[in-house]
């Protein structure tokens, strides 16, 4: 079996205590699945049982790991990882040990800590993250983005978290060599414009910024366009704007 898809509407899934082996599996898709076994790391066991796994997707409403269940994504073969979950008040630590991962799509709540982040091969990242002031700590995630060339943020507000954390910036800065930045929900408010200026100032390797702006009318569209084109940036950086009317 090379590809496997598991789905349930009851938010419950467990692996049996006995050993599981998926020696040929390369693609795994879990939808509306929640691991709740705290006796052992269900996710770790599943990944260990799939020595050839290259693509792994988790899509879930709510948390995909119950309570203190481990959130250790560890695999030397993974190349593409997608984790999409609805943010919950759930701050257990999360670990990324995926040295050959090239693509990451990650939606959810930033936990208290990322004890290990090994993303040395990561080239493209798509982030839609939520933060809880005083609890969420994106420090190690920032460090893991150092080789990313294409970065997509669902909203420029996301830059307040992993790309705008003042306590982290002094030590790590925005050193990732991002060449293409994509913002998919830009409203053009003063705070968003300020954060956009921050990103363009700090991401020195930027060549293209793709902005999908939300406007309510032609006047609003014109203002957003003018403001963006006035943002200071390097000579080699172009801004590509597309508009969506609300």
Side by side, the strands of the sheet bearing 95-97 are 72-74, 95-97, 117-118
| Average pLDDT in the chain | 81
173: left (phi over 0), alpha (psi -120 to 50) or beta: left
Note the pLDDT of residue 3: 96
| pLDDT at residue 10 tops 90 | no
* Residue with the larger pLDDT of the pair 156 and 48: 48
Asked whether the predicted pLDDT for residue 194 surpasses 60, the reply is yes
CB distance 55 to 26 below 8 Å? yes
DSSP 158: G
Q: What tokens does 14 get? A: 């467990």
* Among 94, 50, 103, CA closest to 76: 50
- Please give the average per-residue pLDDT across 206-221, as a whole number: 86
Contacts of 10 (CB under 8 A, 6+ apart): none
Quick one: average pLDDT of 123-150? 86
Bridge partner list, 3: 27
More confident residue, 91 or 204: 204
The SS3 assignment for 197 reads helix
């Amino acid at each position: 079996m090379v590809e496997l898809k598991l789905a349930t509407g009851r938010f419950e899934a467990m692996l049996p205590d006995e050993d599981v082996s998926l020696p040929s599996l390369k693609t795994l898709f879990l939808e509306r699945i929640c691991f709740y076994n705290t006796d052992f790391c269900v996710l770790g066991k599943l990944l260990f049982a799939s020595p050839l796994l290259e693509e792994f997707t988790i899509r879930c409403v709510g948390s995909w790991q119950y309570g203190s269940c481990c959130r250790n994504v560890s695999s030397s073969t993974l190349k593409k990882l997608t984790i999409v979950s609805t943010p919950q008040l759930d701050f257990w630590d999360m670990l990324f040990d995926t040295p050959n991962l090239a693509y990451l799509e990650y939606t959810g709540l930033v936990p208290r800590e990322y004890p290990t982040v090994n993303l040395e091969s990561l080239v493209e990242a798509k982030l839609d993250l939520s933060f809880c002031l005083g609890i969420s700590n994106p420090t190690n995630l920032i460090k893991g983005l150092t080789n990313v060339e294409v970065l997509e943020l669902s909203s420029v507000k996301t830059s307040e978290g992993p790309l705008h954390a003042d306590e982290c910036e002094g030590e790590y800065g925005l050193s990732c060599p991002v060449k293409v930045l994509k913002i998919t929900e830009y409203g053009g408010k003063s705070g968003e414009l300020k954060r956009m200026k921050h990103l363009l100032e700090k991401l020195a390797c930027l060549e293209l910024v793709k902005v999908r702006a939300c406007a309510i009318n032609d006047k609003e569209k014109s203002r957003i366009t003018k403001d963006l084109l006035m943002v200071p940036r390097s000579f080699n950086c172009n801004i590509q704007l597309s508009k969506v009317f609300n």
